[in-house]
């Protein structure tokens, strides 16, 4: 991606394009056409590429405001399906918020693999993207790598700001360079190349380094998210950006009622993003589980209790609870030989106050998992593990 192209997208001062700029524009047009052929949308892509990459650049430099993205870019219909229909629309900016260390990266890594494989996410169907890219803007990539190893996507295309030897820390002193830094990261997130059209790109986190100004300023946050939204539609990608929760007040009566209002910084993070997703830490005794929720613009909000398994990934809380109960019931069976249901019920009630129906469900789960065997009516035994 040329410097000339970057100035048009981010609104910097325009200059006359050189022959190298024009050549890069034509190469980009060819790349878009090849992608269109693979997606069977040749006609709309052809019209868009010819206008945007050949005719429109010269025309925009002849009129006032040439540095602003063309209206054609902003109103262009999405050419790819929604990653999660009704929840994460294609070509938008989704905000995924949670406290530091809550597990946002782990959950996002699993979502990426689920979308890649066409599996559902919390009961909602997904559509595979043309590509998945990741921008790490906080820690070294090794910290993120463990989660992508755990979910089976170790070679995800990425860019890590902390690992970039060419990145100048002094650039962080000037908030006005934030969008240029974001654009630079976006243009390298495909292992040094721009993302393919139709890609799903994650930015972890978006604040504070990629906010053009003060994260507590509504105007600065709004300007940043609008610029990112324009670039998402211009490049035909979907952006998901993580953000941190602020610290909760000690007085529960003074805390925010809505989780999305706990995002550290301006309320414009919620107001100017397309969908807000949040991950809350357990809050015992009433909520001994993580709480995932999303608030899309055109669907009712939903919440999902969940818990981390032994690997650190998230599973529905009821499944983890059922496994925990099943483990308790299994402990009441004799190590060898047979154990009657009456004995199992008595031990489970004495040790855990489990009802007979709870014990029945747990035994059915243990049978399904192959951990116990039904010897005869009302009598069970452990399955020997060699």
CATH number at residue 263: 3.40.50.300
CA 243 from chain centre, in angstroms, equals 11
Q: Are strands 379-382 and 372-376 parallel, antiparallel or unpaired?
A: antiparallel
- For 240, how many CA atoms within 13 A lie in the half-sphere containing its CB? 27
Domain range for 65 is 3-75
Last residue of a domain, which of 45, 75, 105? 75
Examine the domain organization and report whether 323 and 308 are in the same domain.
no
**Has residue 82 been placed in a domain?**
no
**Has residue 207 been placed in a domain?**
yes
**Has residue 83 been placed in a domain?**
no
**Has residue 88 been placed in a domain?**
no
Examine the domain organization and report whether 267 and 203 are in the same domain.
yes
Q: Helix, strand, or coil here: 165?
A: coil
Examine the domain organization and report whether 130 and 278 are in the same domain.
yes
pTM beyond 0.85: the answer is no
Tens place of pLDDT for every residue, the chain, 386 residues? 444 444 444 444 445 556 655 665 666 666 666 555 544 443 434 434 444 444 344 433 433 333 344 444 555 556 799 999 999 999 999 999 988 888 999 999 999 999 999 999 999 999 999 999 999 999 999 999 999 999 999 999 999 999 999 999 999 999 999 999 999 999 999 999 999 999 999 999 998 999 999 988 999 999 999 999 999 999 999 999 999 865 555 556 545 556 656 565 667 888 889 999 999 888 777 678 889 999 999 899 999 999 898 888 988 887 657 777 888 898 888 888 899 999 999 999 999 888 888 888 889 888 888 889 998 899 999 987 65
**Has residue 303 been placed in a domain?**
yes
- Number of domain units in the chain: 3
**Has residue 145 been placed in a domain?**
yes
Last residue of a domain, which of 46, 75, 104? 75
Examine the domain organization and report whether 277 and 375 are in the same domain.
no
Whether 161 and 123 have beta carbons less than 8 Å apart is answered as no
Last residue of a domain, which of 281, 312, 343? 312
**Has residue 114 been placed in a domain?**
yes
Cα distance between residue 107 and residue 367, in whole Å: 30
Q: Are strands 93-98 and 238-244 parallel, antiparallel or unpaired?
A: parallel
**Has residue 153 been placed in a domain?**
yes
């Amino acid at each position: 991606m040329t410097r000339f192209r970057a100035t048009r997208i981010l609104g910097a001062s325009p200059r006359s394009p050189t022959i190298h700029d024009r050549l890069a524009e034509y190469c980009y047009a060819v790349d878009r056409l090849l992608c269109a052929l693979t997606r069977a949308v040749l006609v709309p892509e052809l019209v868009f590429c010819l206008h945007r990459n050949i005719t429109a650049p010269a025309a925009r430099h002849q009129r006032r405001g040439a540095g602003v993205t063309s209206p054609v870019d902003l109103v262009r219909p999405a050419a790819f399906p929604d990653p999660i229909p009704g929840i994460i629309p294609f070509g938008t900016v989704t905000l995924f918020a949670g406290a530091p260390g809550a597990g946002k990266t782990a959950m996002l890594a699993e979502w990426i693999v689920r979308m890649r494989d066409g599996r559902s996410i919390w009961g909602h169907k997904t559509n595979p993207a043309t590509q998945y890219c990741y921008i790490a803007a906080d820690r070294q990539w090794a910290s993120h790598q463990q989660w992508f190893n755990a979910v089976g996507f170790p070679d995800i295309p990425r860019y890590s700001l902390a690992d970039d030897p060419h990145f100048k820390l002094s650039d962080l002193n000037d908030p006005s360079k934030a969008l240029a830094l974001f654009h630079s990261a976006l243009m390298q997130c495909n292992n040094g190349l721009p993302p393919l059209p139709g890609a799903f790109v994650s930015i972890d986190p978006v604040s504070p380094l990629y906010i053009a100004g003060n994260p507590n300023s509504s105007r600065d946050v709004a300007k940043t998210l609008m610029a990112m939204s324009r670039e998402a539609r211009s490049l035909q990608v979907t952006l998901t950006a993580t953000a941190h929760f602020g610290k909760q007040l000690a007085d529960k009566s003074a805390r925010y009622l809505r989780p999305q209002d706990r995002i550290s910084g301006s309320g414009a993070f919620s107001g100017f993003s397309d969908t807000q997703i949040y991950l809350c830490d357990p809050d015992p005794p009433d909520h001994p589980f993580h709480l995932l929720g999303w608030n899309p613009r055109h669907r009712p909000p939903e919440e999902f209790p969940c818990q981390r398994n032994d690997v650190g990934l998230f599973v529905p809380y009821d499944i983890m609870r059922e496994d925990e109960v099943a483990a308790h019931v299994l402990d009441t069976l004799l190590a060898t030989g047979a154990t009657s249901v009456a004995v199992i019920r008595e031990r489970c009630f004495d040790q855990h106050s489990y009802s007979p129906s709870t014990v029945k469900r747990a035994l059915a789960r243990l049978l399904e998992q192959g951990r116990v065997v039904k010897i005869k009516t009302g009598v069970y035994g452990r399955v020997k593990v060699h």
